[in-house]
Amino acid sequence: MKIIKVIIFIGIALSLQSQEKFSGSINGNVKDRLTKQPLPFVNILIRDTKLGASSDEAGKFNIQFVPTGNHTLIISLVGYKQIVKTDIVVTTGNSAILSLEMDEDILQGSEVIVSGSLFEKRSEDVSSMHTLAPEEIRRAAGGAEDVARVIQSLPGISYGLDLQNDLIVRGGSPTENLTTIDNYEIQNINHFGVFGSTGGGIGMVDVHYIDDVTMSTGGFTSKYGDKLSSVMNIRLRDGNKDNYQGQVTIGNAGAGLALEGPGVFGNDSWIFSYRKSFLNLIYKAVRLSVIPVYSDILFKYDLPLSDKNKLSLIGIGGHDSVYFSSKEDESGFYGYRLDSKKYILGTSLTTLIGNDGYTVLSFSKNQNIHDQDRILDTIKTYDNIFRNFTTETEYVIRFDFVYKISSSTNLMSGVLSRNTNYDFWGYSKSVSPFYSYRDYDTTSTILNAKKYGAYLQLTEQLTPVISTTIGIRGDYFSEQNKKETISPRASISYKLDDFSTLSLSVGKYYQWLSLTWLSTIELNKTLKPLEADHFILGYEKLLAEDTRLMIELFGKFYRNYSVSESLKTYIMVDAGAGYDINIAGPLMDGGKGSATGVDIFLQKKYKNGIYGLISYSFNKSLYKAIEGDFRPGAWDSRHSLTISGGFTYDDQTDFSLKYRYSSGRPFTPFDEQKSKLNHFGIPQLDKINQGRYPDYHRIDIRYDKKYYFEGLTIITFLEIENILDRDNIFQYRWDEKKNEKAILYQMAMLPAGGVRIEF
């Protein structure tokens, strides 16, 4: 491909440049993690150098003349737990901007500095919590610098499909996951997501402006509601308050521009990012008949109004369109067209309360516009079977309160109000008498749905080795007959020694039905909310400063999962990301299930140029509809294994590799005799999810090379996904022309590369 040749040429040309040593800078601020108070006189040292700084009265610091490369910081303050923060990349083009938070050490005297590790963890997050730095996301092989795709390597998360970044968390549906950005709940941060889903094809958030990402795969606190399986929190960093800087990225996947700098008031800052894809130029190279196009924009503005008040504005938006149709030899395959626009605009006011707490008042507008249709290419005709135009607009007001009652007791509480206007227009037509499709003529529905939520949570350090978090959450939803839910949750951790911890988390979780299901069928409003109970027993051991072992036994038990009324063996957890109303029709309560298993995670953080992880999960998810026995769920990949890692050398070169294995996904086999007689694929509805696809294997590699100049850094990168070009199966379909079962494959080997210029 031409872009790959260009990258190689640029790399050779730049390698002939001077190998002169260059330097950059590290800027940032330090706060108390709980109270958000700025911390003065914090010592920030760069390991293996004599460089460092001390934070000023506002918690700010600046370190100049830092050699280029990947560094580790040691952050210490008397009375606080020491932080050891790795993966701080310094270049000549951009300053490294950090937002550091420290935890008070309530167990030690005021003259003691407690040594730290490379793994950060908040006191209220006991189980199933992982944190990723932006550099870990950027350099991950096969991740395409997409948050969700990198998250898929963590334990408890099964791999879905090559073209989707859906998170399959401990056997649950992709619709059971919550995403927040800077405390704003966002339905979907991805391009090419099915309406109502949480995943998609590629992420909308530029990793360059991410401060960190935390992922909870179970047992999350009472702050979060209306989801059954997981919470992913993305925290954006502030812009550079001292200088303007930016970067331009050009590759075969697209182009992007990122800018940031100080505002007009001297203490304010902003960030801005715009990206546009070139995927429509390379789709034929990866064995696909898909033509995807997308663009996205991100901005954030931070303005301190005083020493105690800070105003923030945020905006994230995306536009994506895709079209594909069957080829001449693929009759019976569905054509598909999608045009989608989504955005969120938000503003928040953070107010410090004395020296012991803070409040956050936020308001946001979130809108999704979704236009799609499906066309069935049969032997005789092209038939439009589904049309959907939906606009969903949310207005959210949220208030959170955090207060340190004493040195060992913390209180968190909050309330939320969400008003959603949902406008649905659609058309659906049955394609076969052997499927339970629901016919309906042109339908128009407008809903005005209201959701309210409140939570209260207390974290207590009971003894030097025992800490607990207890919480309760209440939610209200106007569109279902059971309008109120109460969710108690609790966790406890016990330190076996300075390096080992046992933990236990339990809790009840509810999720309201999607407005997609409620808007078209009035009867569905009589359903109960989906319900799940979490039980997690964990063991964690710090093997070294940079190496940690985590083992967790988990159980997730579902009740009141919706079941198709016309097909009582079909439970809607199998609908997955689609919320497929034209298949399900009217729903009824009564579905139940369980997901049980074990996660094992061994991770080595970046140190001495080497990093890596081994993640293994065994998960058994079984579901039972109204009729039939317990059977595997659609996402029941029993075994998942990820081995990834990499190394850096000469402060300019990075190489990473990832191997991914997943045991075969379930599928429903065709009734081949009936299918041949009718020239149409007819599933054996008495054998739902009884078949298994072959096991999935994939290897990805990534190579990055940096070239430094005065005030400028040029980075070339090359990533090859599925480097062995393995034929992993996407699904079986019925070829009506040949009147036989055919195979659709997942992504072929895909090289992707580009050039990034920092200035």
* CATH number of the domain residue 236 falls in: 2.40.170.20
Mean pLDDT to the nearest integer, 566-579: 72
- Token duo for residue 469: 């978090």
Q: Is the pLDDT of residue 194 over 70?
A: yes
Cβ-based neighbour number of residue 384 at 10 Å: 12
Structural domain boundaries, residue 322 = 129-758
Q: Are 362 and 348 in contact (CB under 8 A)?
A: yes
Give the predicted TM-score (pTM) of the model: 0.92
Q: Is the pLDDT of residue 583 over 60?
A: no
Distance CA 24, CA 8 (A): 26
Q: Are 227 and 206 in contact (CB under 8 A)?
A: no
* R_g over Cα of the chain: 26
- pLDDT for res 377: 52
- pLDDT for res 385: 63
Q: Is the pLDDT of residue 561 over 70?
A: yes
Q: Is the pLDDT of residue 142 over 60?
A: yes
* 740 domain residue, yes or no: yes
* 61 domain residue, yes or no: yes
What sign results for the dihedral spanned by CA atoms 70, 644, 714, 239?
negative
Mean pLDDT to the nearest integer, 680-706: 93
Distance CA 305, CA 296 (A): 30
Q: What is the pLDDT of residues 91-103, one digit of tens each?
A: 998 999 999 999 9
Q: Are residues 167 and 73 in the same domain?
A: no
- Least confident span in 124-133, 167-176, 319-328, 547-556: 319-328
- Token duo for residue 318: 């995306």
Q: Are 279 and 295 in contact (CB under 8 A)?
A: no
Q: Are residues 710 and 604 in the same domain?
A: yes
Please name the helix (run of DSSP H) or strand (run of DSSP E) that holds residue 543, with its range, or none: strand 530-544
- Position 462 confidence tier, pLDDT thresholds 50, 70, 90: very high
Q: What is the pLDDT of residues 284-343, one digit of tens each?
A: 555 555 678 899 999 999 999 999 999 999 999 999 988 766 554 444 445 677 889 999
Q: What is the pLDDT of residues 429-448, one digit of tens each?
A: 655 544 444 455 566 788 89
Higher pLDDT pick, 10 / 468 = 468
Question: Percent of the chain beyond pLDDT 90?
Answer: 68
* 426 domain residue, yes or no: yes
Q: Are residues 465 and 524 in the same domain?
A: yes
Q: Are residues 539 and 432 in the same domain?
A: yes
**Exposure b/e, 386-406, CB count within 10 A at least 16 = b:** bbbbbbbebebebebbbbbee
- The total of structural domains in the chain comes to 2
Distance CA 271, CA 133 (A): 18
Cα angle 435, 439, 441 (rounded to 5 degrees) comes to 160
Cα angle 90, 92, 97 (rounded to 5 degrees) comes to 45
- Position 509 confidence tier, pLDDT thresholds 50, 70, 90: very high
Q: Are residues 666 and 584 in the same domain?
A: yes
Please name the helix (run of DSSP H) or strand (run of DSSP E) that holds residue 583, with its range, or none: helix 581-584
Q: Are residues 654 and 545 in the same domain?
A: yes
Distance CA 70, CA 67 (A): 9
- Position 492 confidence tier, pLDDT thresholds 50, 70, 90: very high
Q: Is the pLDDT of residue 473 over 60?
A: yes
* 194 domain residue, yes or no: yes
Cβ-based neighbour number of residue 645 at 10 Å: 18
- pLDDT for res 429: 63
Q: Are residues 88 and 148 in the same domain?
A: no
Q: Are residues 83 and 193 in the same domain?
A: no
- pLDDT for res 348: 98
Mean pLDDT to the nearest integer, 145-154: 95
CA atoms within 13 A on the CB side of 144: 24
**DSSP state, 81?**
B
* 656 domain residue, yes or no: yes
Could you identify the residue written with the tokens 């209306």? 226
Q: What is the pLDDT of residues 521-551, one digit of tens each?
A: 888 899 999 999 999 999 999 999 999 999 9
| Max avg pLDDT among 105-119, 263-277, 511-525 | 263-277
Q: Helix (H, G, I), strand (E, B), or coil: what is residue 519?
A: helix
Q: Are residues 182 and 300 in the same domain?
A: yes
Q: Are residues 233 and 167 in the same domain?
A: yes
What are the residues whose beta carbons fall under 8 Å from the beta carbon of 613, sequence distance 6 or more? 153, 601, 602, 603, 604, 642, 643, 644, 645
Q: Are residues 71 and 183 in the same domain?
A: no
23-32 vs 96-102, strand pairing mode: parallel
Nearest to 661 by CA among 707, 615, 621, 705: 615
Please name the helix (run of DSSP H) or strand (run of DSSP E) that holds residue 655, with its range, or none: strand 653-662
- pLDDT for res 447: 87
Mean pLDDT to the nearest integer, 360-367: 98
The secondary structure of 521-587, three-state, reads CHHHHHCCCEEEEEEEEEEEEEEECCEEEEEEEEEEEEEEEEEECCCCCCEHHHHHHHCCHHHHCCE
Q: What is the pLDDT of residues 382-408, one digit of tens each?
A: 455 667 788 999 999 999 999 999 989
- pLDDT for res 226: 96
